[in-house]
Structure formats: structure tokens, C-alpha cells
Amino acid sequence: MTSPQACSASPQTTSRRDFIRASGGALAAVGLAGSASSLWAAPVEDSFSLPSLPYAYDALAPVIDAQTMMIHHTKHHQGYINNLNAVVSQESSLAGKSLVELLKHLDSIPAAVRTAVRNNGGGHANHMLFWQVMQAPREAGKPSGKLGEAIASKFGSFANFKEQFTKAAMGQFGSGWAWLVVGDGGLEVVATANQDNPISTGKTPILGIDVWEHAYYLNYQNRRADYVDAWWKVVNWEQVAMFMQKAAS
């Protein structure tokens, strides 16, 4: 198995490690997933499968209702997995590859199936991260510790970061995602279209919001701004901090 670290060897590695070291410090790992990449690095024996949510379908209510969560998880996320498995079963050169290997090296995937892997592999990876970075609503949740300091240092303040992230989420025309990533220069806010994952452009996502209408339409209809505004209450900042800490390890 090729590790994501081996795949990502690049001139940015040193500065990224320095950033992580500067923002490092041990965090309690209890109940948290490891690195974002590790979610997607598992070797694939047979086929990709739907991971359980780390909470009940109604746990995020009233920010995200139970029906939206259940349909999103069992229909949409499962759908990307089914499509990805179908592509992998047709194209033998993809067999056994992890999501990280697929998404980091899209150019090396046969052109006939590249878009299907990009869309459905991305869809699987993005939702795996999305479920992990949410938790039951908290009124005044915000990042603390090293993550809080890194956000304040990069964006000026948490409020400025929220504004920039919200702008990315609102400015994404049509379906897509807004992300907080670890890139060459440390933390960055980026948006991607469709199911593209920042890992395909060498950036490690540590927080992401799904702004496809299927993520919010039952509750919010066309009001994406209200969904994004409410969503901050369910962000699991401890998990995001863990993803930041592990982003270069």
C-alpha cells in the first residue's frame, strides 16, 4: 500500500510540516478520527462501503433535521459509493487503490473513467469528512487552543474567518463545497465545484460544508445563507483541531 505521505512528497512538505509543528501540541484523541487523509487511506479489499455516522440521524437537529441526514447518508453518500464501486470493478487498474491514491493522482486514471472517479470518489471522501466535523448543536462553539490561535493569526480573528468561509460557501455557484484547508502557506479557505476534493490540488481539508441543495433543501429550501449561518453551531472544533494537527503527519 502506498501511504498518502509518500504520495504527497513535494516542495511544500517542509513548510507545511513547519506550520503544523508551530501550531502543534498534543490533543486528546478520545472519540476523534485521526487525520483527514487517514479517513480515505484505508486499503480497499473488496469494495468501498458506507461508514456509520458518529451520531444518530437526529443528533444535529434543529440545525440539520433527521430526514435530511438520513437521506443524505443512505441515498446520496451511498449513491457515490455504489457508482465508485461500479467504476472500479470495470477498470482493473483501479483495483485495491485507496481514496487518497485515486484523488491525489487523477491524471494517472484512464481518461474514460477519470470524471466518474473524480465525482464519485470525491463524493465519498467529502461526505466521510463532513460527517466527522459535525456534532450536536452548541450555541457558542468556536475553535480554541492551537486551532483558535492559527485561525486568529491567519485571518485576523475568528469572525473574519467565518466571514471569509461563509463568502466561499455562498459564492459557490450551483453545487459544491467550502473548505478550510492546510495548504502551502498554512490555513486557507477554498471552494470547490461539484464533488471535487482539495486533496486533488495538494491541499488537506480539515473542515468542509456541503452546499449542494440536498444538504439543506428540506429544511431551508432556497435559503442557503440561513443553513450556512446555522451550521456553525454543529461544527466539531475538537475534530477540526485534530485534523489540523495531523495534516502533515
Which residues sit at the interface with Mn ion, rule CB under 5 A?
210, 212
Q: Min. distance of Cβ 214 from Mn ion in angstroms?
A: 5
- Give the helix/strand (H/E) hosting 176: strand 176-183
**CA atoms lying within 13 Å on the CB side of residue 175:** 13
What's the CA gap between 245 and 247, in Å, rounded? 6
Q: Min. distance of Cβ 9 from Mn ion in angstroms?
A: 31
Burial 227-248 (b: 16+ CB within 10 A, else e): bbbbbbbbbbbbbbbbbbbbbb
Q: Min. distance of Cβ 33 from Mn ion in angstroms?
A: 18
Closest CB to Mn ion among residues 212, 237? 212
Closest CB to Mn ion among residues 85, 119? 119
Q: Min. distance of Cβ 80 from Mn ion in angstroms?
A: 8
Closest CB to Mn ion among residues 236, 245? 236
Closest CB to Mn ion among residues 151, 178? 178
Q: And the C-alpha cell for 162?
A: 467565518
Closest CB to Mn ion among residues 36, 187? 36
What's the CA gap between 249 and 244, in Å, rounded? 10
How many of the other CB atoms lie within 10 Å of CB of 46? 8
Q: Min. distance of Cβ 226 from Mn ion in angstroms?
A: 18
Instruction: Please identify the residue of the shown chain whose CB is closest to the bound Mn ion.
Output: 210
Closest CB to Mn ion among residues 9, 173? 173
What's the CA gap between 137 and 160, in Å, rounded? 22
Q: Provide the 3-class DSSP secondary structure of residue 63.
A: coil
Q: Kindly give the residue spans of alpha helices, DSSP state H, lying in 65-202.
A: 66-71, 78-90, 99-104, 111-132, 145-155, 158-171
CB 186 within 8 A of CB 155: no
Q: Min. distance of Cβ 196 from Mn ion in angstroms?
A: 13
